[in-house]
Amino acid sequence: MTASDITEEKHYSPLYFIWLRFKGNRAAVVSGVVLLVLISMAVFAPFITIAGYDEQKFLERGLEGPSSEFWFGVDDLGRDFFSRIIYGARISLSIGFISALCTVLIGIPLGAIAGYYGGWIDWFIMRIIEIFSVVPPLLAAMLLGALTQGGFLTVVLIAALFGWVQVCLLVRAQVRSFREKEFVRAAHALGASPGYVIWRHLLPNSISPIIVGFVLAIPLAMMLEASLSFLGIGVQPPLPSWGQMINVGMNFMFFYWHLAVFPTAALAITVLATTFFGDGLRDALDPTLKDR
Amino acid sequence: MTMFIIKRLISILITFFIVSVIIFLMMHAVPGGPFDGNDMPVSEAVRAKLMASLGLDKPLHMQYLNYMWGVMQLDFGVPFQSPGETVLELLARAWPPSLLLGGMGMLIGVPLGILLGMAAALRRNSWIDYLASAVATLGLTIPVFVISMILILVFAVWLQWLPAKGWGTPQSWILPIAAYAMIPMATYARYTRSAMLDTLNKPFVTVLRAKGLSERRIIFQHVLRNSAIPMVTVFLPMFVGIATGSIFVEAMFRVPGLGAYFVSSIRNRDYPLEMSLILMITIMFCLSYLISDIVYAWLNPRIRIEGRKE
Amino acid sequence: MLGDVMSPALELRDICKDFAIRTGGTFVPKYETVSAVQNVNLILPANKIVAVVGESGSGKTTTGMLALRLLEPTSGQIFLNGTDVTKLDRAALKPFRRSMQVIFQDSYSALDPMMTLAQTVAEPLLIHGIGTASEQRASALEWLERVGLHRNYGQRYPHELSGGQRQRVAIARALILKPTVLIADEPTSALDVSVKAQIINLLLDLQRDMGLAIMFISHDLSVVRSLADSVTVMFNGRVVEQADTETIFANARHPYTRSLLDAIPVRNPRDRRVRAFLSRDEIASAIPVVSHRDISSTVEPSPRPQLVHLDQTHRVEAIVTA
């Protein structure tokens, strides 16, 4: 090989192949676009809505159906429903992201330590995971929610509390399989500390499961929030939450269908989009993760 | 094999106790008892008397021990919200609706799911395949209460074919059962499809075809058996989950089942009922996992034979 | 070889490694000790190549790992350039690690798939804090060239290389710290024959240039012949024969060594020796028997086989009789 051959050859980094695989999954790409739209709408909420989410400006037009003036109608307390739904997107998406972030922040160190050191540390962490797996998460979440009267922060904590197990297991499995590889042994032979090995070698090689765990934790957190809010122990009014709105909407649904239909549709679309996007990402990053 | 079972039972017991302690502490960690924040405020003296009569004035660990001692003898105490009966009796009253609707949901969902999955596997990339995949994905992705809501909106509000409240006439059962059936149907459709596709691609199937066996025989006698194992093992936990009543389905359709009582027990701080429900459900899950593991080990010839070699 | 005035680059004294294997017990686990390496003595003089040969499971790889302290010896001592490094803790051991490096058999998993080649080769400098980032990178690229790869390979990833090329990178990474000892654990076993020769030549060149002492672990005696100054044969976790390369090939005394030699493929079928695939019992029964009067050291007669000097450089495991 001459020098010119080497410099002229085209370089395909691993990232390129990941992008190719992702592009082939139509559902994932569509979901990605949908998510982008949703996120933009949530971020630019003040610019596309005519009122705040708790401004009861339209009491005399209460319970009106959708029209060109009120795209989603007016709710029972005289608030513009479209605004409520859009701000609800903010709540759902932010809870989803923040919970997923906390999930990952808890799950990664625990998984890495359990996978790397093994022995009784691993045993201990696995026992904790077992306890968390046996109690139906929804019931326990409800208990916690009821005890703490709900609230934004509480919901985030609860979602993180029940989500970290998945990420922890993924990271642990990855670390365990890479621990015996020769490049790790080479690093040891060089005198590297365990911290260095985990940070520089094991974690970067676990990026795929970490990203997948993060992205798939988002819809789970959103569902948990919606469920808790539906029961009244999640996000509290006046903060708008789709779950809460569904609960209210059920009382009015026979005559004022818009109060039930729009939050339901919003929730369904958002959860579907994030799940398909996450699945697509997982398949693109590492097709072998499909069955875990 | 017996050692395996015994070890697992012990591990379940330990987990069970740890869980019970944690939940007990959680419940009592929040200030306020069953008589606070009520519509009818009670005077201090009356309140003290009521708390004493319910044994709530004793120190925490005594309460816990008393309660667990009762649990050992299958005495779960008396619920605060309906002191006329024991917790067991209340649960016995509340369970049938959940069991009925949940059970029927499974009964319909599982076979439908399996059929859908089989059809999808056998006619790859046809419209059935896409339909089955769509159903499977949607059923598992969209939370059950959103599905219920959609069902209500479409069939009760818009088309007005069926009632929205589900406990009275058999008609009112249809929608809740449909909601209950989604998860098993989606799960089994997905499992069946992927397990069958995996098996159909295996070399031994090609050999069977070369031998001249009819397609039908191949499918029913060979392929299904091989695919059956994961499907069997997931059955019991799923059944437990559904039979204990989905809280949301019951809340939406106003069904007086376990789920509804759970919600009210939390709202009313009905400690005995809360504890008992969570404990019972946890134990049922543990047992169902244990039984599934045993069934799996027994069914899977590889594990069965290797176990004998020990 | 044994009478070196300078202390050897690496010396292993009575190294043992036992593993506890769980053999059952229902509640209280029962363990059995398995001896992977027993009483291995090995001297690697500076600037020389010592081959350690044996079949899979003979303990040769374990010995290499023990020398590096990637596994902790159950007993025995490790001397690196004269210093006892057996019991040093991680911090104290770190500076010594610069003197002893390793290359492995599986070149693919020897390189971190997420790091570029330049980063991989520069990593030792990073871990030991030598030089600035740009100096490290420059050094890494220099070494890539030294092992026969173009500088531009620095930006590539392991999956873009062939097995032989990856092994070169592994060699560069091992040698960038200029160690005095290199443990090479079957570095050519996974390579094609033509590539094998290239890698071996590379190692020989570098060894000569740097004055490196190499412990070359292998199961392939034909490779060993062209490379090593002396050979240590291991069987079942013990050393059964040690001698200069020529002596081993001409005058092996232990039946196991003989069977290894017999297994070397020959070019002309007519020259094929009759191969005797001996079982462990056959080997055990064919151990040389020597009288204690014929050997030069003070060894007591014993029914159990012991490692004895047949002459100054040749040791064999034998049964010493009266």
The pLDDT tens digits of the residues spanning A137-151 come to: 777 777 777 667 667
Closest by Cβ to B141, choosing from A146, A257, A272: A272
DSSP 3-state assignment of A74? strand
CA separation for the pair A183, A175 (Å, rounded): 13
User: Which residues on B lie below 8 Å from A148 (Cβ)?
Assistant: 30
Q: Which residues pair with C233 in a beta bridge?
A: C53, C241
- pLDDT band at residue C272, thresholds of 50, 70 and 90? low
Q: Which of A40-49, C209-218, C244-253 has the highest mean pLDDT?
A: C209-218
Residues of A in contact with C159 (CB under 8 A): 14
**For C95-104, what is each residue's pLDDT tens digit?**
888 889 999 9
Q: What is the pLDDT of residue A8?
A: 43
Secondary structure string (H, E, C) spanning B84-130 = CCCHHHHHHHHHHHHHHHHHHHHHHHHHHHHHHHHHHHHCCCCHHHH
Is B278 within 8 Å of A231 when comparing Cβ atoms?
no
The pair of three-digit structure tokens given for residue C34, joined into one six-digit string: 């398995």
Interface size A-C, in CB pairs within 8 Å, comes to: 65
At B150, the amino acid letter reads: I
Picking from B18, B30, B150, the nearest residue to A147 by CB comes out as B30
Position A291 pLDDT exceeds 50: no
Task: Return the residue in A139, A162, A220 with the most chain B beta carbons within 10 A, the one to mutate for interface testing.
Answer: A139
| Pairwise CB contact (< 8 Å): A204 & C124 | no
Please tell me the distance in Å from C255's CA to the nearest CA on chain A: 34
Between chains, do A275 and B15 touch, taking CB under 8 Å as contact?
A: no
User: What pLDDT is stored for residue C50 in this prediction?
Assistant: 93
CB contact under 8 A, C170 and A186: yes
B274 touches chain A (CB under 8 A): yes
Contact flag C152-A6 (C-beta cutoff 8 Å): yes
- pLDDT class for C143, splitting at 50, 70, 90? very high
Chain A nearest C-alpha distance from C7 (Å)? 23
* Cα-Cα-Cα-Cα dihedral sign, residues C245, C250, C254, C257: positive
- What are B280's two structure tokens? 């019972």
Q: Cβ of C101 and A6 within 8 Å?
A: no
- Distance between CA C257 and CA C314 in Å, rounded? 13
Q: Do C157 and A14 touch (CB under 8 A)?
A: yes
What average pLDDT score do residues B207-230 get?
Answer: 74
pTM across the whole model: 0.77
- Interchain proximity C106–A182, CB inside 8 Å: yes
Q: Which residues of B touch A257 (CB under 8 A)?
A: 153, 157-158
DSSP for B26-59?
A: HHHHSS--TTTT-SS---HHHHHHHHHHTTTTS-
**Chain C residues inside the 8 Å CB shell of A189:** 68, 70, 97, 100-102
CA distance B149 to chain A (A): 7
What average pLDDT score do residues B137-144 get?
A: 79
Mean model confidence pLDDT for chain C = 84
- Element (H or E) spanning B234, and its range? helix B224-243
Neighbours of chain C (3+ CB pairs under 8 A): A
Q: Which amino acid is it at C277?
A: F
Which of C116, C135, C115 has the alpha carbon at shortest distance from C125? C135
Q: Assess whether pLDDT exceeds 70 at residue B83.
A: no
Where does the pLDDT of residue C202 fall: very low under 50, low under 70, confident under 90, or very high at 90 and above?
very high
State yes or no: pLDDT of B175 exceeds 70. yes
C170: pLDDT confidence band, cut at 50, 70 and 90?
very high
Of C16, C200, C197, C213, nearest in space to C101 by CA: C213
The mean pLDDT of A6-19, rounded to a whole number, is: 61
pLDDT number for residue B244: 63
DSSP 8-state secondary structure symbol assigned to residue A238: T
CB atoms B29 and A147 under 8 Å: yes
Number of residue pairs across A and B with CB atoms under 8 Å? 101
Report CB contact under 8 Å: A142, B266: yes
Residues of A in contact with C106 (CB under 8 A): 182
CA-nearest residue of chain A to C68?
Answer: A189
Q: If interface means Cβ-Cβ distance under 8 Å, which residues of chain A face chain C?
A: 1, 3, 6-7, 11, 13-14, 181-183, 185-193, 196, 201, 204-205, 207
Among A216, A250, A247, A218, residue whose Cα is nearest residue A233: A247
How far is the C-alpha of A105 from the C-alpha of A102, rounded, in Å?
Answer: 5
Residue A253, helix vs strand vs coil: coil
Q: Report yes or no: C239 and C311 within 8 Å, Cβ to Cβ.
A: no
pLDDT 10s digits, B236-276: 778 777 766 677 778 778 777 777 777 777 767 676 777 77
- Phi/psi-derived region of residue B22, left when phi > 0, alpha when psi is between -120 and 50, beta in every other case: alpha
Nearest beta carbon to residue A189 from set C97, C109, C128 = C97
**What are the pLDDT digits (tens) for C223-250?**
888 889 999 999 888 888 899 998 888 8
Number of Cβ atoms within 10 Å of the Cβ of A177: 13
What C241-247 contacts at long range (C-beta under 8 Å, 24+ apart), as own/partner pairs, is: C241/C314, C241/C315, C241/C316, C241/C317, C242/C42, C242/C307, C242/C314, C242/C315, C242/C316, C243/C313, C243/C314, C243/C315, C244/C1, C244/C313, C244/C314, C245/C51, C247/C313, C247/C314
Distance CA C292, CA A155 (A): 83
Q: Residue A134: which of B15, B150, B158 has the nearest Cβ? A: B15
Gap from A3 CA to chain B (nearest CA, Å): 46
State how far residue A148 is from chain B, nearest Cα, in angstroms: 8
Q: What ipTM score was computed for the predicted complex, to two decimals?
A: 0.78
Task: Look at C146 and A136; give whichever has higher pLDDT.
Answer: C146
Q: Do B285 and A136 touch (CB under 8 A)?
A: yes
Cβ-based neighbours of A229, under 8 Å, separated by 6 or more: A150, A155, A235, A241, A242, A243, A244, A247
- pLDDT of B112 over the 60 cut: yes
**Using 50, 70 and 90 to split pLDDT, how confident is the model at A7?**
very low
pLDDT at A264: 86
Tell me what the mean pLDDT of segment A250-274 comes to: 82
Question: Which run of H or of E encompasses A136?
Answer: none
